[in-house]
Amino acid sequence: MKAAGVILAVAAALALQTTLAWFVTRGTVAVDFVLVAVVYVALTTGPTAGLLAGTLGGLAQDALTSGGIMGIGGVAKTIVGFVTGIVGTQFIVVQSVPRFVVFFVATVVHQAVFIGLYVLLDARHFGTPYAGVAEQAVGNAVVGVVAFQMVELLPGAMQRRRAGKRRPQR
Amino acid sequence: MALLAFRQRSGYLFVAVMLGHLLLISTQVSTRTGVPVVEQFAFGLLSEVQRVVSGVMLGTRRTWDGYVALRRATQENEDLKRRLAATEIQMQEQRALADRARGFAELLDLKQRTMLSTTAAEIIGGAAVPGFRTVTIDKGSRDGLRTDMAVVAPAGIVGRVVMPSARSAKVQLLIDRNAAAAALVERTRAQGVVVGDGEDRLLMEYVSEVADVVVGDAIVSAGIDGIYPKGFVIGRVEAVEKNGPAYRKITIRPAVDFSALEDVLVVLTPTPAREPSGSE
């Protein structure tokens, strides 16, 4: 059941990244929805699910990326998923600010591993990526925090709405 | 105790997965020629997912646009757009033909250009990773697409096919940081190499310091890289700077609006690679 949830979350994020994000924003918004999904899964379910989500999402992204090396995205997201999962089990990350920090740092670590491996293997040039990494880290953190809020607030809101409908009319 | 066992298990799994990844990477790094089979297979598989998702999205959008909203007007608009795009492509071909009429050698190319065959394709997906400027199109090797075929739009050059699967293909946009094309300044025939900057501009490198290049000059494909046909518009010069003692660094605004791409043409006629000529 947990595995199916992980696969579903990653598939939904990938679909969002490659289709909706392209058709709506034309690739101008630097948010990695798959990374957001990996960090979300890791924080909510732990290191094992986190690393599996990272492996799955990273390899899927690598396969859909031209001129890239299959496995580099997988390595970066596996590390992020595993470490974030451990962080989620060791610390209480339930407030918006700590979650923002986790998503931000996870993106920076991911980009450091991702860009670092490409540069190490001399397979791709990234210029000066600091601004781009910071932009993506903020974007991912905002999307991640909003996703958490939505998932947590939605069931309560629906319950309140149902309770309101059941209340007898005077 | 159970927690420790769980930690150990996930730790072993982490090490195993990382080793798998490193093995995967190492097999590709040692392969210098062609696309790795595993990448080709995975892309083919996952592009089908993209096709289904985008098919559902496009189907819904077309149903709304074509039947619920403006049924006839949309159809007429689409027809007019297609005709306009075809006319603009013809204009570009005519412009390129005029350039080639300068010499006898160029007349030989004229014959090839008149035989330029293309196939229309629709963009069905974007890049999976932010920073990589690629798109997926709905035509593949079944439609005759091969690696390194040029992809153009009515406004100019879009990019090249980098990985065709059976029914779809991945296209590297010219603005990708790893993309490059042989180019020349249309007015003075000064040659250089246009590369992507990973954002929304292009850079023209290896242009001689003494070359006559000014802001506003049109940059066209040189046709010597074996990918892009000669004479197709790449963009216009936006800035000219010094780049060391021998070269100039030229910033180009692309002719194609990559943020609004929907339909493209893939040039099926291969462009033979040639040595750059000194006269141009």
Per-residue model confidence (pLDDT) at position A169: 54
| Least confident residue range of A94-98, B33-37, B234-238 | B33-37
> What are B52-92's pLDDT values in tens digits?
888 888 888 777 776 766 667 777 888 898 889 888 888 88
**Across the interface, do B21 and A74 touch by the CB < 8 Å criterion?**
yes
Per-residue model confidence (pLDDT) at position A79: 95
Query: Is the Cβ–Cβ distance between B96 and B231 less than 8 Å?
Result: yes
Q: A30: distance to nearest CA of chain B, Å?
A: 6
Per-residue model confidence (pLDDT) at position A105: 95
| Least confident residue range of A151-155, B81-85, B104-108, B203-207 | B104-108
Kindly list the residues from chain A whose CB atom is less than 8 angstroms away from the CB atom of residue B49: 11, 14-15
Q: CA A150 to CA A157: how far, in whole Å?
A: 10
- Phi and psi dihedrals of A130, rounded to 5? -55, -50
In order of A88, B99, B112, B279, the CA distances from B103 in angstroms are 71, 9, 15, 11
CB contact, 8 Å: A11 with chain B? Answer: yes
**Across the interface, do B45 and A63 touch by the CB < 8 Å criterion?**
yes
Whether the model clears a pTM of 0.80, i.e. scores above it, the answer is no
Domains of chain B: 37-268 (2.40.10.350)
The answer on pLDDT for A96 being more than 80 is yes
The answer on pLDDT for A29 being more than 70 is no
> What are B155-203's pLDDT values in tens digits?
889 999 988 888 899 899 999 888 999 999 988 888 999 998 877 889 9
**Across the interface, do B53 and A15 touch by the CB < 8 Å criterion?**
yes
Residue for token digits 């379910």? Answer: A45
Per-residue model confidence (pLDDT) at position A104: 95
Task: Among A18, A23, A65, A66, pick the best mutation site for testing chain B contact (most B Cβ within 10 A).
Answer: A66
Domains of chain A: 2-166 (1.10.1760)
**Across the interface, do A60 and B128 touch by the CB < 8 Å criterion?**
yes
Q: CA B206 to CA A102: how far, in whole Å?
A: 44
Q: What is the mean pLDDT of the segment spanning A119-142?
A: 85
In order of A44, A74, B2, B11, B12, the CA distances from B7 in angstroms are 16, 21, 9, 6, 9
For residue B197 the two structure tokens come to: 């900057």
pLDDT band at A154 (very low <50, low <70, confident <90, very high): confident
Q: What is the mean pLDDT of the segment spanning B7-17?
A: 83
> What are B211-268's pLDDT values in tens digits?
888 999 999 998 888 889 888 899 999 998 887 777 888 999 999 888 878 788 888 8
Touching B: A residues 59-118, CB under 8 Å:
59-75, 78-79, 82, 85, 117
Per-residue model confidence (pLDDT) at position B279: 40
The answer on pLDDT for A20 being more than 90 is no
Q: B82: distance to nearest CA of chain A, Å?
A: 20
Per-residue model confidence (pLDDT) at position B181: 93
In order of A101, B183, B185, B223, B232, the CA distances from B220 in angstroms are 47, 6, 6, 9, 5
Ramachandran sector of residue B141 (left: φ over 0; alpha: ψ -120 to 50; beta: rest)? alpha
Residue of B nearest to A48 (CA): B10
Query: Is the Cβ–Cβ distance between A37 and A9 less than 8 Å?
Result: yes
**Across the interface, do A32 and B130 touch by the CB < 8 Å criterion?**
yes
Per-residue model confidence (pLDDT) at position B52: 85
Q: What is the mean pLDDT of the segment spanning B89-105?
A: 67
- Residue A29: which residues within 8 A CB-CB, separation 6 or more? A21, A139
The upper half-sphere exposure of residue B251, i.e. CA atoms within 13 Å in the direction of its Cβ, equals 10
Q: CA A61 to CA A68: how far, in whole Å?
A: 10
Task: Among B8, B9, B14, B201, pick the best mutation site for testing chain A contact (most A Cβ within 10 A).
Answer: B14
Q: CA B222 to CA B186: how far, in whole Å?
A: 9
**Across the interface, do B132 and A28 touch by the CB < 8 Å criterion?**
no
Query: Is the Cβ–Cβ distance between B101 and B110 less than 8 Å?
Result: yes
The answer on pLDDT for B126 being more than 90 is no
**Across the interface, do A124 and B177 touch by the CB < 8 Å criterion?**
yes
- Residue B143: which residues within 8 A CB-CB, separation 6 or more? B119, B121
